[in-house]
Structure formats: C-alpha cells, structure tokens
Amino acid sequence: MHFAPLVTTFDLIATFAFALVGARVAASKGLDYGGIALIAAVSSLSGGTFRNLFLGQLPPWIQHPWLFASILLAVLLTIAIKSTEPVGRFVLSLDTFGLAVATVSSANFAAGFHINFFVAAILGLIGGVTGGLLRDLLCQIPPVLLHRETIGTSCLLGALVYLGVDRLTTVVAISVLASGLVTVFVRELSIKFDWNLPAIG
C-alpha cells in the first residue's frame, strides 16, 4: 500500500536523523561549517533522491523544500554542541533509527508503483544506505556499509518484510512496525555482537 502522507512524514524524520549523524561525523573529521552542512545534506537527502529518480519521480527535497529545515536544525545543533569526538553509541542508535525509517519509507513508496517485488526491495535498500555510504566517502573514512555492522543486510531484510507483510494485510501500520523492528533488531544485534558478513582472507 502506498500512503503519501506516511512517506512524507517518514522522509522528514529520516532527514533529521541522517542529517544529525552526518553533521556529527563531519564535525569529528574537523570540517568547517560549510563542510558540516554539505555532509548533513548529502547524508539525509541522497537515499530518497536516488529512490525517486529510479522511479521517474522528482526528489523529495524538490517536492517538499521544508525538508531543509530538518537539515538546518541538525547542523545548528551540531555547531552549538561543539563536540568533535568520534561518533558514540547514541549517534549510532540514531543512525539505526534513520535506517529503519528510510527503509520503510522507500519500500512503501516503491510498493505504490506496483513494480517487481525484489526490485521494490532493492529500492528500499537504496533508500536506507545511500546517504551513509556517500557520507563516509566524502569524509574519507572506510564506508561502514562495506565492511561492518550488516547495515545493508538490515535494510534489505526490513524492506523484504515490509513488502511481504504489505501483501498480506491492508493495515499499513502492521507493515511499518514489522519492517522497522526487523531493521532495528538486526542492526543493533550486529553492533552489540560485532556481526559482519564473511570476507575473503
């Protein structure tokens, strides 16, 4: 089920969460205010942008410019706190929350176009992980997505759960809750127990 107000609300929440995490990472790398703002914007807008473009739609920030208010708030909070310490457990939890929200939003949005089940799941994955990947690359740190914490696995499982449950019920809240819980649960367990996908060597 595609529910536009739900997607819009989720995009707003995920935008703030990802922007704050991005701003904190940028601050910890010693970037100036402009760099912090850029990383916050890239972190929070990239996933929804790619999701929409792949579906032939305008990016969310063009349709809803007020999303920039979330980014501005995250940047101002980061500057006011003045912390340059490496990202801690609270920020990781915030990032996990953003992942869950973005994954649910993207899977919900893709489902509204009645496309192939697995293609919709990939779009859910893209919506969840793209911002963090570009954030790490721009900050010149090894992308977390590629080597630890099963971020991609968490988002993909969450998207599959959303799409699967969505086919079984017309109550969107059930799909949202199930997907969000799976995404958060898998990511948090991977952080706690240092789970990673196997690597060569």
Positive/negative CA dihedral, 27, 91, 157, 153: positive
Q: Which residue has the tokens 């032939």?
A: 56
102-141 pLDDT, tens digit per residue, is 999 999 999 999 899 999 999 999 999 999 999 999 999 9
Q: What is the pLDDT of residue 1?
A: 47
Model confidence band, residue 3 (pLDDT cutoffs 50, 70, 90): low
56-70 pLDDT, tens digit per residue, is 999 999 998 989 999
pTM of the model: 0.89
pLDDT exceeds 50 at position 76: yes
The Cα 193–Cα 73 span in angstroms is: 33
